[in-house]
Amino acid sequence: MGLTRITPATTTPVSVAEVKAYCRIEGSDENSLVEVLLKSAVSTIGERIGRPLAPEGWQLVLDQFSDAIELGKAPVTAVTEVGYTDPDGLPQVVDPAVYSLDLVSQPQWVVRNEGQVWPDVLAGVNVVSVEFTVGYTSSTIPAELKLAVLQLAEHWYSNRGTVNVGNIVNDLPFTVEDLIAPD
């Protein structure tokens, strides 16, 4: 089994304008800096919580089909394609009527629908693939994660090159750590 990012994030669930408003930055002179801080904050928090914050494309490869396929990343927003290599060695795509996406469970799954059958695959490794999208948008990001992004970007903006060790845990401000800590 392998899990690979195939499409990096091209957007963020928090806008430059929102960061500028949070930091009380007027004008556009520092837009480039704010964009770098925003992208870095989104990436850092996503890595810390083990979930991409911005929409990304991922591919899971398996050696065979199973009734339920754990996707291994969250939050899944869509399955783009379930593919496989047929017994003749040709790439094929599974009809979406064969499976459903379970977005309620954690972790999230691709589940074979009742009465449906997965197609036969070539005997071998990495013959089944699931391509899917994970991450949040501006309308789906939880408030705590959005606030954590804003606070981290503001912290870096206000403390350029300075680290106040008394106010951070593992290189993040305490308030950010509190916002992203699991319940």
Lowest-pLDDT range, 28-42, 90-104, 126-140, 158-172? 158-172
pLDDT of the residue at 133? 95
Mean pLDDT of the region 26-53: 93
pLDDT band with cut points at 50, 70 and 90 for residue 163? low
Side chain identity, residue 83: G
Q: Minimal CA–CA distance to 13: which of 97, 135, 173?
A: 135
Question: Mean pLDDT over all residues of the chain?
Answer: 91
Give the per-residue pLDDT at 165.
55
pLDDT of 169 > 50? The answer is no
Mean pLDDT of 40-53: 92
**Average confidence (pLDDT) over 6-13:** 93
CA angle 1, 79, 149 (to 5 degrees): 90
Question: What integer is the mean pLDDT of 19-23?
Answer: 96
Percent of the chain with pLDDT over 90: 79
111-126: burial string, b at 16+ Cβ within 10 Å, e else: bbeeeeebeebeeeee
pLDDT of residue 183: 61
Instruction: Identify the band that residue 162 occupies on the pLDDT scale cut at 50, 70 and 90.
Output: low
Cβ–Cβ under 8 Å, residues 72 and 111? no
Res 159: pLDDT: 84
User: Is residue 132 within 8 Å of residue 60, measured between CB atoms?
Assistant: yes
Please answer whether residues 152 and 173 qualify as being in contact, where contact means their C-beta atoms are separated by less than 8 angstroms.
Answer: yes
Angle between helices 143-158 and 16-23 (to 10 degrees): 60
Q: Give, in order, the Cα–Cα distances in Å from 103 to each of 23, 35, 73, 100.
A: 35, 31, 11, 9
Give the Å distances, CA to CA, from 156 to 26, 83, 159: 17, 43, 5
In the predicted model, what is the mean pLDDT of residues 7-25?
A: 95
